[in-house]
Amino acid sequence: MARKQVTSQFYSGGFLSLLLLAAMVPISSQGLPQGEYSATEFSRSLLVAASRTDKTAAVRRPDQQFIMMMMPYQEDAIALADAALIRAKHPEIKALARTIKQNQITRNQQLRSFYRQWYGTDVPDGLQRQAISTSGQEPNGMGGALRIDLKDLEVSPDFDRAFLEEMMQHQQMGVIMAQDMLSNSDRPEIHTFAKALIQTQNAHIDQMQYWYQQWYLMGNREP
């Protein structure tokens, strides 16, 4: 069953922005989106766009491409979590941010280990977003296209609400990519990794949706 999510306002630049716009679902009268994503269509679009940026993408195995795409994705999740640990007002958000950060660090280490074991080298540095910039300048390469613009999030008048919107979008992206790998990868390690990611991040999305509804959609706006 497809999951609902709140659309994000804070992605900027690069091919991922276009993919997210194409994938966004309409907002219901209650403020939460209705509709569903197609994991296959999303992933196909993602890989096509990536291949235009990275000319060797077409010759890579799906699991290799997945690991490379997950590097900047995980870095962005950690950056979002770090921002919440500093700025969030709700203790529930801070607790979730700590959990998300640790999960992403652990998964990043796991994927890097897979990559070294299977491909005999480290994940290419050029595909990692080197730093989150708030200057408006895009780093080069796929990592730059995947980066989150934290500038708008950091100056949002309601950080907690903006964080929930951004993180729900981000966690859903990870679920979509992981679901696609269950069909396209033949490595049992990737299947185990993907299933764990889907279970964990779906639970996070459910929790954040509940908070969003309670705090912002039920007439109980909190400071």
CATH number at residue 169: 1.20.1260.10
Residue 9, in any domain of the structure: no
Q: Which residues pair with 33 in a beta bridge?
A: 27
Q: What is the pLDDT of residue 63?
A: 93
Question: Residue 137 pLDDT more than 60?
Answer: no
Question: Residue 111 pLDDT more than 70?
Answer: yes
pLDDT for 33-66, tens place per residue? 443 444 444 445 455 444 444 544 445 689 999 9
Residue 149, in any domain of the structure: yes
Number of domains in the chain: 1
When pLDDT is cut at 50, 70 and 90, the band that residue 218 belongs to is confident
Q: What is the pLDDT of residue 125?
A: 73
Question: Residue 169 pLDDT more than 70?
Answer: yes
Question: Residue 100 pLDDT more than 60?
Answer: yes
Structure tokens, 177: 């990519």
- State the residue range of the domain holding 47: 14-23+41-51+72-217
Residue 64, in any domain of the structure: no
Task: Give the separation between CA 218 and CA 213, rounded to whole angstroms.
Answer: 6
Q: What is the pLDDT of residue 69?
A: 92
Which is more confident, 130 or 174?
Answer: 174
Question: Residue 6 pLDDT more than 70?
Answer: no
Q: Can you give the pTM of this predicted structure?
A: 0.71
Contacts of 96 (CB under 8 A, 6+ apart): 84, 204, 207, 208
Residue 101, in any domain of the structure: yes
